[in-house]
Amino acid sequence: MEVGEWSISSPASKFLLGAPWTEKLAHGWVHPLRISPNQLRVIGSCSSWHPGLFKQMVACTSDIQVAFTTDSSELTLDLKIDKVPKGASSVLQLLKATYLKKLSSVFVTVDGKPYKNFSLDDAGEHTLSIHLETETSEDNLARLPGFNDTHYVNVYLPCLQSASVKNLRGNGTFFSPDEPKKKLVVFGDSIAQGFVVERPDKTWPRCLAKRMKLEVVNQGIGGQVYQSGSYTFIEDASLVIVALGANYRYEKCSKSQVTYDIQNSLWQISQMYADTRVVVLTPTPYFEDAYPTHPYSCFAEIPQIIEEVADKFGLQCISGEKLLPQEKKYFADDVHPNSKGAALLAKNLFEALKQPVQDSLF
């Protein structure tokens, strides 16, 4: 259909989930944000471990989606996908070629069923066209506008790239956003961000949020560690999960400094979310082959430090090692779970969260 033939049109930004903030760009494009501008000032400052890397990762649209119900049988979405940043490319280079080919940047579902995907190489501006199956009437004639079946569409934006949206158009009578839900907020690193699951709808925060019927705000940042002042308050949070600590393994670190950072971070989060359940995870299993532990890292002591500090502030702590078996079939590389591993991690975490605090996994 030509642009002028569409019966309805709306800014796609009205239908964003997982993006508490947005940035208006030139020519009507909107970049959804999962990290606030105030957070970015801290994360991108000289106090960070790797501010340049973190700025790249913050821009990625992990667990952000355009979601709506419509009676349109034909619709389009203006979509712009940025190139994979250098920080993500370095991880992709270590993947097997056969696995790399499986990765999607944008993934589309209609009524929960896979519809279309974009590869990591599909950077640039796109007009995403979606044809929705519509039943015909008993006399085999197409239904009139306003009498079509309704469909639920999800456009999952990339975990390893940044994406922007503009207009949503259709030939029906309405686009309806999701009903508001309580939030799952995850403060994490690359494992939470979605490195390197096959599809952007398969991150472990997304899988957990689906089980809990929550909207996820994924604040996973590749390379991140506990950093005081880098957290923010998200309205309507029902559960906050802190999943940091894995990246201490790769660099020289001091136990005293790391303990100080973890104490400050968990104290800030506990105060910020005083009326919300906060759960802290220790790092998940890993293999030493591709990413060996730095000889002067204090990583071996990190799980105990996290457990002790969490207990000090009355926060529930769950062992990441109990959530995911150390078996290659659950990993995309030596550190990051594949979609099977992410789903299992979310399932085990969901079960652990149902247990009384004193009986939960550690």
Q: Are strands 277-281 and 237-243 parallel, antiparallel or unpaired?
A: parallel
pLDDT higher than 60, residue 65: yes
Confidence check: pLDDT of 360 > 60: no
Residue whose pair of structure tokens reads 């259909």 in the numeric block: 1
Residue-wise pLDDT for 165-220, tens only, equals 999 999 999 999 999 999 999 999 999 999 999 999 999 999 999 999 999 999 99
pLDDT, tens only, 250-294: 999 999 999 999 999 999 999 999 999 999 999 999 999 989 999
Instruction: Give 106-139 pLDDT, tens digit per residue.
Output: 999 999 999 999 999 999 999 999 999 755 444 4
pLDDT value of position 133: 76
Q: DSSP 3-state assignment of 37? A: helix
pLDDT at 144: 54
The per-residue pLDDT for 361 is: 54
Per-residue pLDDT of 285-328, as tens digits, reads: 999 998 999 999 999 999 999 999 999 999 999 999 999 999 99
Q: Is the pLDDT at 9 greater than 90, yes or no?
A: yes
Statement: residue 142 has pLDDT above 90: no
Check residue 258 and give its pLDDT. 98
In this prediction, residues 225-234 reach a mean pLDDT of 97
- Percentage of residues in the chain having pLDDT higher than 90: 89
pLDDT at 138: 47
Give CATH 3.40.50.1110 domain extents, the chain.
183-356
| Cβ–Cβ < 8 Å for 242, 280 | yes
Question: Which part of the chain has CATH 2.60.120.260?
Answer: 8-53+62-177
Strands (DSSP E) found in 189-319: 215-220, 237-243, 277-281, 316-318
The mean pLDDT of the chain is 94
Q: Does 11 have pLDDT greater than 90?
A: yes
DSSP 171-221: SSS-EEEPPP--EEEEEE-HHHHTTT-SSTT-SHHHHHHHHHT-EEEEEE-
Please choose, from the candidates 249, 285, 292, 241, the residue with its C-alpha nearest in 3D space to the C-alpha of residue 266.
Answer: 241
Residue with tokens 């906060």: 278
Chain center to CA of 243: 13
Q: Is 235 exposed, middle or buried (0-12, 13-18, 19+ CB in 10 A)?
A: exposed
pLDDT at residue 53, rounded to an integer:
94
Say what the pLDDT of residue 137 is. Answer: 44
Question: What is the spatial distance between Cα 299 and Cα 239, in angstroms, rounded to a whole number?
Answer: 27
How much is the average pLDDT of 348-359? 85
Q: Which amino acid is at 279?
A: V
What is the C-alpha to C-alpha distance for residues 286 and 331, in angstroms, rounded to an integer? 9
Q: What is the pLDDT of residue 145?
A: 52
Q: Give the C-alpha separation, 26 to 297, whole Å.
A: 45
CATH of 183-356, one of 3.40.50.1110, 3.40.50.150, 3.30.70.260, 3.40.47.10: 3.40.50.1110
Q: Is the peptide bond before 196 cis (omega within 30 degrees of 0)?
A: yes
Q: Which residue would you say has higher pLDDT here, 19 or 357?
A: 19
Q: What is the pLDDT of residue 169?
A: 98
Specify whether the CB–CB gap between 230 and 42 falls below 8 A: yes
CB of 162 within 8 A of CB of 56?
Answer: no
The CATH label, of 1.10.3720.10, 2.60.120.260, 2.40.50.100, 3.20.20.70, for the domain at 8-53+62-177 is 2.60.120.260
pLDDT above 50: residue 339: yes
> Over 60: is that where the pLDDT of 4 sits?
no
Residue 147: predicted pLDDT: 58
Q: Which residues contact 97 (CB under 8 A, 6 or more apart)?
A: none
Residue 358 banded pLDDT, cuts 50, 70, 90: low
